[in-house]
């Protein structure tokens, strides 16, 4: 009679996925006290004080009994305050303070949420990751903080019960005041509200750069802009979010999941629609870019997953930081390893970089004389290594626009017009790669290139000639094909022709001009 037990399902977060945690509460007579075991961290151990106060403030009692709370599996670290709610429910059930109605199946219901002392339930980090994993494990019901409700509103096939106070949870479990499951939200609904920050119509002249930006956006390619200070590199980059298509549902789930784990979702906001645009300062450390810290948190490359990572003043970044980008650029994933934790994050981003051609900034400019020595220029350019350059598909020179052109009133093409063409090209790609795990041309691997990028005989001949003449690496060769594929998608043609290959090769010429030849 004296020993009582309760089992409640909770979820923990590890990397980008959640794992189920069984909260076992054992209540017995004997020396009164409460113990939490199963590798809890400080915030989990402190939860007993929050839970105690929250239960009393919800009109229930905490009888003086000997209570052991076990978080199984006992060999995995449990972090964060999200276990407050399941522990509270477990305590109430084990002490027979509540009588759960039989229609609620506790073996299929997941609880998470942080408790305030007054019993209110606060949002937690990683709600989306936990909810997705819960649905993958086959659990059907989730009781979670109302502050996280929007974030998980698009998940299909689960009953989601948002709650604000422990009293509501008690009312629901006892059947006195059942909560209605949240209505599932349609992702298309969210997509309708978009705003553009910087419009392309504000960019005067720069025809070459505009075209390059459009191609980069259409295929998700990396891009490097070289030009004098004030020539508009940063402004061009800022136009990018406005011409990129909104995230698809699948992409949004991936990206929002990472933001959710990093705790970067504004409370009350839902799945992300806009592609992320991360612009870390050039003083950024390797760990902040790639991810790291004690619990292997995601870095900028993962936060810009399915979006844009903008690196302004590329040569000013530390060598280590730049070289660390090589692996995520190639594989689209990073594995962050720390002694205690290891996490694998997706990081398939478009890298957009801006740089000056030399320390003074005016080498090759029409506007002003460069006053750097060849050695200085060489040293400056060499900070960007060959292997990194090799991974940049599109290189473009951006020179200052003459005053006459700036003052001309002829409006440039708007973002909306460019975005329409980009979206058309993207839809072609999505259809072509449906079910293969790719979203855009830039993500293709070598096998996929062979499969999807057929070209005419003349195009192939031209490409082989160029590879020999420019001594392109095998990687560069594949990247030229991918850019050509995007160009073909933009013009709506099925096969890659000579014109596309020629333009794609032209996008690689700066590499030759600045880094390889002997004019300096």
Q: Rounded to whole angstroms, how far apart are CA atoms 77 and 493?
A: 54
CA 338 to the chain's CA centroid: 21
The CA dihedral of 320, 299, 238, 192, to the nearest 10 degrees, is 160
Q: Rounded to whole angstroms, how far apart are CA atoms 66 and 69?
A: 10
Nearer to another protein, 19 or 26 (CB): 26
CB of 257 to another protein, least distance (A): 39
CB of 250 to another protein, least distance (A): 49
User: Residue 306: which residues within 8 A CB-CB, separation 6 or more?
Assistant: 247, 251, 252, 254, 255, 275, 276, 348, 349, 439
- Local structure of 10: helix, strand or coil: strand
Nearer to another protein, 35 or 105 (CB): 35
CB of 33 to another protein, least distance (A): 3
CB of 96 to another protein, least distance (A): 13
Nearer to another protein, 44 or 419 (CB): 44
User: Residue 239: which residues within 8 A CB-CB, separation 6 or more?
Assistant: 198, 199, 200, 203, 213, 415
The binding site for another protein (CB under 8 A) comprises 2, 28-35, 63-65
How would you class 176 by CB atoms within 10 Å of its CB: exposed for 0-12, middle for 13-18, buried for 19 or more? exposed
Nearer to another protein, 2 or 156 (CB): 2
Q: Rounded to whole angstroms, how far apart are CA atoms 143 and 172?
A: 10
- Local structure of 398: helix, strand or coil: strand
Q: Rounded to whole angstroms, how far apart are CA atoms 270 and 187?
A: 10
Of 50, 57, 52, 110, give the one whose Cα is nearest residue 80.
50
Nearer to another protein, 33 or 181 (CB): 33
Which pairing describes strands 342-346 and 333-337: parallel, antiparallel, or unpaired? antiparallel
Q: Rounded to whole angstroms, how far apart are CA atoms 510 and 214?
A: 18
């Amino acid at each position: 009679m004296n020993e009582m037990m309760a089992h409640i399902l909770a979820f923990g977060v590890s990397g980008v996925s959640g794992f189920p945690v069984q909260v076992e509460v054992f209540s017995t007579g004997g020396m009164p006290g409460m113990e939490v075991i199963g590798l809890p961290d400080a915030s989990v151990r402190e939860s007993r004080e929050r839970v105690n106060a929250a239960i009393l403030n919800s009109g229930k009692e905490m009888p003086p009994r000997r209570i052991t709370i076990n978080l199984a599996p006992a060999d995995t670290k449990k972090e964060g305050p999200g276990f407050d709610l399941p522990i509270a429910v477990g305590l109430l059930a084990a002490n027979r303070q509540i009588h759960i109605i039989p229609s609620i199946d506790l073996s299929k219901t997941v609880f998470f949420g942080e408790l305030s002392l007054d019993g209110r339930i606060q949002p937690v980090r990683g709600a989306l990751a936990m909810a997705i994993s819960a649905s993958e494990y086959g659990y059907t019901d989730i009781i979670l903080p109302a502050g996280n409700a929007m974030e998980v509103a698009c998940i299909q096939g689960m009953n989601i019960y948002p709650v604000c106070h422990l009293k509501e949870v008690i009312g629901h479990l006892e059947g006195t005041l059942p909560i209605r499951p949240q209505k599932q939200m349609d992702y298309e609904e969210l997509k309708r509200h978009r705003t553009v920050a910087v419009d392309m119509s504000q960019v005067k002249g720069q025809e070459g750069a505009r075209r390059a930006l459009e191609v980069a956006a259409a295929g998700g390619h990396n891009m490097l802009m070289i030009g004098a200070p004030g020539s508009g590199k940063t402004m061009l980059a800022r136009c990018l979010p406005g011409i990129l298509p909104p995230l698809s549902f699948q992409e949004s789930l991936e990206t929002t999941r990472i933001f959710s784990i990093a705790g970067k979702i504004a409370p009350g906001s839902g799945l992300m629609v806009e592609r992320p645009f991360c612009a870390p300062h050039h003083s950024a450390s390797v760990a902040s870019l790639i991810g790291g810290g004690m619990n292997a948190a995601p870095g900028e490359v993962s936060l810009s997953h399915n979006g844009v990572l903008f690196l302004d003043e590329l040569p000013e970044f530390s060598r280590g930081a730049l070289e660390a980008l090589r692996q995520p650029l190639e594989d689209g994933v990073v594995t962050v390893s720390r002694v205690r934790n290891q996490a694998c994050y997706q990081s398939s981003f478009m890298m957009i970089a801006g740089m000056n051609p030399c320390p003074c900034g005016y080498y090759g400019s029409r506007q002003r004389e460069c006053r750097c020595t060849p050695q200085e220029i060489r040293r400056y350019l060499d900070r960007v290594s060959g292997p990194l350059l090799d991974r940049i598909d599109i290189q473009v020179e951006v020179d200052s626009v003459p005053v006459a052109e700036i003052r001309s009133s002829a409006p440039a093409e708007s973002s909306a017009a460019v975005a329409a063409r980009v979206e058309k090209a993207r839809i072609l790609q999505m259809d072509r790669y449906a079910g293969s795990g790719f979203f855009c041309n830039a993500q293709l691997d070598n096998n996929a290139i062979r499969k999807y990028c057929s070209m005419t005989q003349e195009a192939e001949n031209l490409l082989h000639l160029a590879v020999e003449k420019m001594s392109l690496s095998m990687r560069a060769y594949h990247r030229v094909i991918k850019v050509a594929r995007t160009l073909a998608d933009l013009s709506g043609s099925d096969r890659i022709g000579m014109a596309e290959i020629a333009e794609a090769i032209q996008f690689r010429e700066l590499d030759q001009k600045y880094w390889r030849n002997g004019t300096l």
